[in-house]
A and B are shown apart, each in its own frame.
Chain A
Amino acid sequence: MKLLNLLNANIRKEYIELKRYLPNTIAMLLTFYIIFLAMFAGIQVIGDPTTQDMNIQYVIVNYIFWYLTMIVVNDIGWQLSNEATQGTLEQLGMSPMGIWRIMAARLVSSTLVHILIIIGLLYLSMATTGQWLNIDVITLIPIFILTLISMFGLGFIIAGITVILKQIQAFLQILQFILAALAFVPLSVAPFLAFFPIVKGVDLVRQVMIDGASITQIGYSDFLILGFNAIIYFFIGLSIFLYCERVAMKKGLLAHY
């Protein structure tokens, strides 16, 4: 019950801020769409016409996925960096729920609030390009959930680093590109990347949305890898975060000093 109230409060905050700063939100979405159009145009101009449709579909899936990682992983870094320099982080640190539960609630809420936007963007991209992908919800949901869990782990790592270093804006800028690389790289190029966070997830999503694979066609081993990644990254992430929190409490780093 308490956890539900915690989640509820964080969803509300996320929603209120998106709504209150609507021009910001719109600008963000517009940026997303314009970059998408640029890529779409690029493929049409310089791409190989025989694989054009395929390429566009790739771009749609990868790009949407990248957006998701930005919301989940990068955003928590920005938020915490602000809160640490302002002083609200200490306030969170005094909650008997523990900062990590609040962070988990934030990760889940930003995903939930943005998922609607992401679906909107997906349909907008498909309508713009005329490339209709296979939206097999039953198959996609488990893939998404497992991939999200490993993303949350990544989010915790970023949150931990932020708590210690605070001014990590430069790092977050670079991280955007690392995340983009992970979202865009085809797994066939480097199979070992399957054990990197999100790579396997995007790959499976591509199989479903582009190649039309259904849940029965995706092997157990694929889900196993996905599940394995989810558990490993979540726990590694959480442990790193808790460790960083302890260090911060020892050294007095929770506040701006």
Chain B
Amino acid sequence: MEPIVKVRNVEKAYRKRKSKEMIQAVNSISFDVYKGEIVGLLGPNGAGKTTTIKMICGLLKPDSGSISINSIDTDSHRLKALTHISAVLEGNRNLYWRLSVRENMEYFAGNRGISRKEVAPLINDLLDKFHLKSKEHELVNRLSRGMQQKLAIAVAMLAESDVILLDEPTLGLDVETGYEVRTILKNIVKEYNRTIIISSHDMDVIQDICERTIIINHGSIVTDDRVENLLKLFEVRSYTVSLGGLLSSMQQQLLTQKFPNHTYVSDSYQSTLEIDLLKSEEIYDLFDILKLQATPVESIDRQTVNFEQIFMKIVKGEKTHEVAQSS
């Protein structure tokens, strides 16, 4: 199957305004996105997420490399490629603040050559989905930040394009509104079967919506895997064991031999063991050691690792993707 978005060895450097120095914002990035996929683009500030997104949606010309949408080259056939793409870029000024909600939708549709009449049913549908119906005639400058963001996404949906790019869709939203936007996005994905690329540093967004995530740092791809794999990677092997007594020094010695990275915390009556297993069978070794003194086990918890922890570890280079796959 041909990928719907194909990014090949794309590079982009900016010239700093004053010092003429070049900043390599994106450094030979390659990836594919297939129809119906929801891909998260994750990375710290300045990683190159926005730059990557803008190159895909034809607003920035890559210095080298190529990007194609539905096999259409975005450089040589820019306008044709744009018929398959719409995007919401970061910030809340991507709407006309002097126009109402509905007028914005009509205007942007018009700018793509779609008539008001033609687009009216879709606008009504989207206003409902985005809970904006009651604000239909409100001017955008009177809307809350969250509503503006919802409208911007609704506007991007108007084009009925195959690929939708969202740059930081929940940035600056409070918890509740962020949750609402995520729920709406999930519904859209289910209902309209669009291909979506979302950039974010909000782990909830990625964990909640995306099936696959590409982590970039300093303009390069650090890892590209399914979200569940990345979660599995750490989740499987981190355990917290609560013990109803203390470990003998022999037990502690054995533990150190077998699990050099464990942490052991004890008070006078009980103790807690945190342990990372390289293979799941190693849990039997742990039980053997505990059995020696018949140490009572009160609970064993698999540590829930959230995406944030994984992300921090990967970005800091503690785990590279290769290590992850070989284990």
Contact = CB atoms under 8 A, between A and B. Distances in A.
Interface stretch (B40-48, B112-120, B199-207, B283-291): B112-120
B59 A94 contact: yes
Among A10, A95, A102, A246, chain B packs the most CB atoms within 10 A around the CB of A95
A94 B58 contact: yes
Interface string B78-112: 01101101110101011110110001001111111
A12 B86 contact: no
A96 B89 contact: no
Interface string B46-58: 0000010010011
Q: Which of A13, A90, A94, A255 has the most CB of B within 10 A?
A: A94
A13 B100 CA distance: 11
Contacts of A92: 111
B82 A87 contact: no
Interface in A164-193: none
B54 A6 contact: no
Contact of B106 (A2, A9, A86, A98): A9
B98 A88 contact: no
B57 A94 contact: yes
B15 interface: yes
Interface string B204-247: 00000000000000000000000000000000000000000000
* Chain B interface residue bracket vs A: 35 or more
Contacts of B83: 96
B61 A97 contact: no
Contacts of A93: 58-59
A6 B79 contact: no
Contacts, number: 100
A91 interface: yes
B154 to A, nearest CB: 13
B192 interface: no
Contacts of A91: 89, 94-95, 108, 155
A3 interface: yes
Contacts of A5: 110, 113-115, 118
Contacts of A1: 113
Contact of A251 (B15, B86, B103): B15
A221 to B, nearest CB: 39
Instruction: Give me the 6 closest cross-chain CB pairs, A-B, nearest first.
Output: A9-B110, A2-B113, A87-B93, A96-B82, A86-B93, A96-B83
21 contacts: A5-B113, A5-B114, A6-B111, A8-B115, A9-B106, A10-B110, A13-B96, A16-B99, A17-B99, A87-B91, A87-B93, A91-B89, A91-B94, A91-B95, A93-B59, A94-B58, A94-B85, A94-B86, A95-B82, A249-B60, A252-B14
Given A12-B106, A250-B61, A255-B89, 20 more contacts: A2-B113, A2-B114, A5-B115, A9-B107, A10-B110, A12-B103, A12-B110, A13-B96, A13-B99, A13-B103, A13-B107, A20-B98, A87-B89, A91-B94, A91-B108, A91-B155, A92-B111, A96-B82, A249-B61, A252-B60
